[in-house]
A = this chain, B = another copy of it.
Amino acid sequence: MLPSAQAPLYEIKANLFKGLAHPARIRILELLAAAPGESAPVSYLLAETGLEASHLSQHLATLRKHRVVTSVRSANAVTYQLAHPGVSQLLAIARTFLLDSLAGSREQLRLAQQLPADHLAGGPAS
């Protein structure tokens, strides 16, 4: 359930991130961000993602619910658009963060990825 407008901001913020917390939705948003006008019809998203129609629709509903996208109906096709430039900014920063993080800690990844609390004592020389 979406928090009401007077809910504490950190709760609303958590909900926004929750809305982005799914690979399919990330793909959808990136397709929109890359498309001209930051918008595209469902048929396009359907073709690009290869998702089942109702599944895609469900994710679009989630994005709509979180006000991350808006939709407009033209004839019997529906076009979706990013609701705010902040959305693509979030994606861009996430990408920077992740690439940086992945590149900067390749070695550490090997050690600490998720091994059982093996927090190093001496650090590898190589």
Interface residues in chain A, defined as those with a beta carbon under 8 Å from any beta carbon in chain B: 1-2, 4-5, 8-18, 20-23, 25-27, 30, 65, 67, 83-84, 86-87, 89-91, 93-98, 100-102, 105-106, 109, 113-114
Q: Name the B residues within 8 Å of A109 (CB-CB).
A: 5
> Is the beta-carbon distance between A86 and B90 smaller than 8 angstroms?
no
If over half of A's interface residues share one DSSP class (helix, strand or loop), that class is named, otherwise mixed; here it is helix
Asked, given contacts A83-B101, A105-B67, whether A23 binds B2 with beta carbons under 8 Å apart, the answer is no
Nearest chain-B residue to A8 (Cβ)?
A: B23
The residue that A101 contacts in the complex, of B67, B93, B94, with Cβ under 8 A, is B67
Specify the chain B residue showing the minimal Cβ separation from A26: B10
Partner of A9, one of B1, B87, B98: B98
